[in-house]
Chain A
Amino acid sequence: MLRYIGKRILQLIPVLLGMTFVVFLIIRAIPGDPAQVILGQQATEESIKALREKLGLDQPWYIQYFDYLKGLLTGDLGESLRTRQPISTEIWPYLAATIELAIFAMILAVIIGMNAGIISAWFQNSWFDYIAMVIALIGVSMPIFWLGLMEQWAFSIELHWLPTSGREEVRNPVEAITHFYLIDTLIQGRLDQFWIAVKHLILPGVALATIPMAIIARMTRSSMLEVLRSDYIRTARAKGQKMSKVIYKHALKNALIPIITIIGLQTGLLLGGAILTETIFSWPGIGRYIYEAIGYRDYTVIQSGILIVAFMFVMINLFVDLLYSVIDSRIKYN
């Protein structure tokens, strides 16, 4: 098992290396110059040239690339061209914001999506099944920016139940420790702020959860339907087991592998930062961090930001692969 994990992590190196290379080339193909953006329209030729030299942008691209790789090997993600701050420290608050939102959204999506799928399969062709699957179909094809705007309109502007945007109240900011606000507020015993943080999570969380929830519901239903036809389900019922136990104990575990596969993929996507959702809800997450960096042509931030997102994505999928063998003893990694 450990050898397998080691092998998989070694395999990640060429993947991530290739990715940095592609990203590096693509962002340099975008017209525009970081020095120009930082200094503004009025800047003189000389000052721009001087800044380019200072930032190392006057070097040929391959030298820049190897310098960047050298930094990565020593664990240095580089510093932002714009703020001159090390990216590894600057990125964390954004990353934490995205992780918090993504986990919140995935918990919603998994609990509701899986149960809807299970009940739909259990009572196949019932009215619940039809309604749930129509909702799921609408869900997978939902334009998320529109859903986000409608949520804001209904629950914030009309009903005043929930805040429109952001993570915290401007006049009552959270004192960040881990930058996971739900954890920070609890550590500090600030239950008032905890509820505020929860309220801020709900609208973007629901918007973000919609598509994964619908996909999980559909996948769970089809996977469960297949399992429910198996002989061992009939055996379990012939023993005199309750239908609910047959479903949740015997059937679900067998149906789980395709379900956790898509849960893993969807979590990876959400961790990449949902730019649309984060923009609509002014969520200070990694998606917006990278998006803004593109505006400033902040090459190093774009490179390292995407690298971190990609790294999380592949790690989650590795974790899911390892989960397979925990669920099903027939799957062995050597």
Chain B
Amino acid sequence: MKRNLLLNVKNLETTFFTEDGRIPAVDHIDFHIYEGEILGIVGESGCGKSVTSLSIMGLVPSPPGKITSGQILLSDVDLTKQSEKQMRKIRGKEVAMIFQEPMTSLNPLYTIGQQLIEAILLHNKKMKKKQAQAKAIEMMGLVGLPRAEQLMKDYPHQLSGGMRQRVMIAMALLCNPKLLIADEPTTALDVTIQAQILKLMKELNKQFKTAVLLITHDLGVVAEVCERVIVMYAGQIVEEAPVEELFKNPRHPYTKGLIQSVPDMRYKKETLYSIKGNVPKPGSIAMGCRFAPRCEFAAERCTTENPPLYDVGEMKVHKSRCFLQEMEGSEIAEHVIESR
């Protein structure tokens, strides 16, 4: 089945100009999302996941941040070239976003109803308030909120975290966006609520055909909902693959490390695997592969030359940014020996 491209990010670079100098938080990344697809972006804190999503929304805090090169094409419209006024028409309508912190993402001084109706009326100027209210109540029902009419009059502090995240999802979907960006939507929630919210997002994705860009650091979440995954490290994409392929056949040492770091209930282990070291400070690596200082397989070449994104296999759906990809069996062995 051939799918239409919805979002195509080309060579995106978002830089923060700070007192410590130029920090490229997102460093020339390329990716795309098809209509109706769920794409996951995984990575540790500080790898540029959130900045990527804010770049798409045009909400990078500026100053100090700025999109310094590249294109973000949403159905052939370059979002980086839109004025603030044009972006306002896109935000909430074409691209909506939900955030990590449902507890603080709703304005505490306005009722749920006021906040939902605001979102509708912003993009439907001619709609009557009554209609907007009916639509808001309908949407709250769709995201599984009980007693919607009563909730409309409630303030955010009267709701639990899970309910607030449902409200956020309802708010995001009110104008039927083509793309929903979910930035760690379940991180702040209890595990049981997490599962409910993920299930809901999957259902809504099917029902509304809304593409979802799911940003998370949780591989479990990725495995559960995503079709394709991008792994980011220090502002770059290090691996990209369909979700099953990624878990079965991870190619980048960082991805392998991440997968090994997930506790597995089936085996009793003394200590859990963890990747040595920490994420480098953004902008601190000038040369070579960004993961080299933490990589078990790093050889000399890795510290001087930044590997390109190699295609893995013939299908051109799996990519990995590692020199190991170039090598045949014996070469790999040599490389590994050198690295020891």
Task: Enumerate chain A interface residues (CB-CB to B < 8 A).
Answer: 125, 230-232, 234-243, 250, 253-254, 327-330
Contacts and interface: CB of A to CB of B under 8 A. Distances in A.
B109 A240 contact: no
A327 B110 CA distance: 10
Contacts of B104: 230-232
B179 interface: no
Contacts of A232: 104-108
A250 B107 contact: yes
B85 to A, nearest CB: 9
A327 B107 CA distance: 13
A93 to B, nearest CB: 42
Nearest to A237: B59
Nearest to B90: A240
Nearest to A328: B109
A254 B108 CA distance: 8
A238 B57 contact: yes
Closest 10 interchain pairs by CB? A240-B92, A240-B91, A232-B107, A239-B92, A231-B104, A231-B105, A238-B97, A240-B88, A239-B119, A235-B105
B108 A240 contact: no
Interface string B56-95: 0101000100000000000000000000100011111100
Contacts of A235: 99, 105-107, 168, 171
B123 interface: yes
Given A230-B104, A235-B105, A250-B107, 16 more contacts: A232-B106, A235-B99, A235-B106, A236-B107, A238-B57, A238-B59, A238-B91, A238-B99, A239-B96, A239-B118, A239-B119, A239-B171, A240-B123, A241-B122, A254-B108, A330-B108
Which of A234, A237, A239, A254 has the most C-beta atoms of chain B within 10 angstroms of its own C-beta?
A239
Contacts of B123: 240
A125 B61 CA distance: 14
A232 B57 CA distance: 15
29 contacts: A125-B63, A231-B104, A232-B105, A232-B107, A232-B108, A235-B106, A235-B168, A235-B171, A238-B57, A238-B91, A238-B92, A238-B97, A239-B118, A239-B119, A239-B122, A239-B171, A240-B89, A240-B92, A240-B93, A240-B119, A241-B122, A243-B84, A250-B107, A250-B110, A253-B109, A254-B107, A254-B108, A254-B109, A328-B109
